Structure 1
Amino acid sequence: MSEPLFGARPVTIAPGAVHVPGWLDLDSQRDLVRRCREWARGPGGMRRHRTPRGGTMSVRMAALGWYWRPYRYTREVPEAGPVAPFPEHLGALAHAGVRDAYGTNPPTDTADYDVALINFYDAEARMGMHQDREELADVPVVSLSLGDTCVFRFGNTETRGRPYTDVELRSGDLFVFGGPARRAYHGVPRTRPGSADPACGLTSGRLNITIRATGMS
């Protein structure tokens, strides 16, 4: 996998933040959708987390390798036992994604990936601006999109507000952010219901697989 799966050219959104449209072909998308359905049946299933301020996230989430909830990692899923293991397949995809996004000059070390968050967005789900900062490793975050198109808002490292850039992420797209963009605020203000090609294996909603390296043992 030395070339992007569809041969798409990477688009630099900010230093260290790269969008590769159409990175996954339809067969790969269908395979990941199938795997996500299996992972969703794992310990704890797909959950909507409560935030420290008492709200409930609109996105449903499952975790592999480490269990994430606002805002920490554990090895145990509350009331469900050990978290499901991190699949080697996703680690290989993450390394390939970093290579295809950055070429021969990645901005940081790509240490072992060990956690994946599977997020499901229905037509009403949103994700507020936030930083991925629970990880100890300074390793690029790899994001894969499946199903409906979303507006992905990629901001700066200092504030949830402007400046930011809105990017449309479609099914099969890859987005990688590391280096100076690793702690940038980002979120999903809206999705576009009904925009997915049913051939991807998902007839409604959006799946996002976010692959990270925690740097923990």
Structure 2
Amino acid sequence: MNGDALFPREPTVIAPGAVHVPGWLSVERQGELVGACRSWARGPVPLRHTVLPGGGVMSVRTVCLGWHWQPYRYSRTADDVNGARVAPFPDWLVEWGRTALAVAYGDVGAVGAVGAVGAVGAVGQEYTPDTALINFYDGAARMGMHQDKEERSGAPVVSLSIGDTCVFRFGNTESRGRPYTDVELVSGDLFVFGGPSRFAYHGVPKVYPGTADPATGMHSGRLNITLRETGLPG
């Protein structure tokens, strides 16, 4: 693992509309986000293991911004936790999402633009995420193959990784099985999926404990922050 860490990792188009941008977040920006996530995890709705309709419990722990996600819907209040209204989605995170989209999709003038998916033009500026799912993985946590499909909007999902390296499995839109591509996501990496890949199945079959950079404030575990447009009113 990470045998080529001494060599620059290049942005890669994994599938149409799905782009991996390694090292997008600086260590300083990662530290800012870790501090913010710790604050959000304390409430008003605390970090929790989500209970699935069949009674199973997800191994990752989650806290949400803007809208509260529970299988398989959004609400303003965390009715499955403590009934509190979730923390608001901050304006600065909207701007991070817009910049991430511009970089991944090669918008003209974007710093570090990939330019591999074709110009998106105004899409970056029009992107207005209003919810974030913040997932914390310890060394034993996993995420099964699933689709992000509770949103009414078809806008791309912006995913940020901080902490331990993981295997991110990005699949197809038809089933949880093959074909899929395994991508190693390292702390600071950006992954965007939209367009034809917006509803692709994806998951995390493995986390590599002990690979987090303490300089980010993460001594162990992995944070994954996904920004989304719900398309819901209000």
With normalisation by structure 1, the TM-score equals 0.94
**Aligned length, in residue pairs:** 211
Query: Deviation at 1:106?
Result: 2.8
- Secondary structure (helix, strand or coil) at the match of 1:35 reads helix
> 1:106 maps to what in 2?
120
Question: Are residue 80 (structure 1) and residue 96 (structure 2) matched?
Answer: no
> Match for 1:29: what amino acid?
Q
Distance 1:40 1:92 in 2: 21
Looking at structure 2, the residues matched to 90 and 25 of structure 1 have their Cα atoms a distance apart, in angstroms, of: 15
Distance 1:187 1:150 in 2: 10
Amino acid at match of 1:103: G
Q: 1:4 matched to which residue of 2? A: none
Shift >6 Å, 4+ stretches = none
SS at the partner of 2:200? coil
Q: Where do 1:101-140 residues align within 5 Å? A: 101-104=104-107, 105-106=119-120, 109=123, 110-140=126-156
Residue 94 of structure 2: which of 91, 94, 98 is its match? 91
Deviation at 1:89, TM superposition (A): 1.5
CA RMSD of aligned residues (A): 1.5
What is the distance in 2 between the residues matched to 1:37 and 1:141?
Answer: 22
Partners of 2:132 and 2:227 within 8 A in 1: yes
Q: Structure 1: which 5+ residue stretches go unaligned?
A: 1-6
SS at structure 1 position matched to 2:50: coil
Q: How does 1:1-217 map onto structure 2 within 5 Å?
A: 9-78=10-79, 79-104=82-107, 105-106=119-120, 109=123, 110-217=126-233
C-alpha distance in 1 between matches for 2:120 and 2:83? 38
| 1:140/1:178 contact within 8 Å kept | yes
Give, in angstroms, the shift of residue 94 of structure 1: 0.7
Distance 2:17 2:168 in 1: 16
Larger Rg: 2
CA distance in 1, matches of 2:83, 2:40: 14
Identity %: 61
Q: Taking structure 1 as reference, are residues 68 and 107 closer, same or farther at Cα in structure 2, changes over 3 Å only?
A: farther
Q: 1:127 to 1:169 in 2, by over 3 A?
A: same
Structure 2 unmatched runs, 5+: 1-7, 108-118
Q: Which amino acid aligns with 1:102?
A: Y
AA in 2 matched with 1:81: A
Structure 2 distance, partners of 1:8, 1:94, is 21
Return the letter of the residue paired with 2:46: G
Q: Structure 2 CA distance, aligned partners of 1:117 and 1:141?
A: 11
116-125 vs 72-81, which moves further: 72-81
Q: Which residue of 1 aligns with 2:112?
A: none
TM-score by length of 2: 0.87
Could you say if the C-alpha distance between residues 75 and 60 of structure 1 is closer, same or farther in structure 2, counting changes exceeding 3 Å?
same
SS in 2 for 1:59: strand
Listed one character per residue, the Cα deviations across residues 65-119 of structure 1 (whole Å, up to 9, x for unaligned) are: 0000111000111223211100111111111010000012239944311000110
Alignment-mate amino acid for residue 201 of structure 1: G
CA distance 1:43–1:67, shift in 2 (3 Å): same
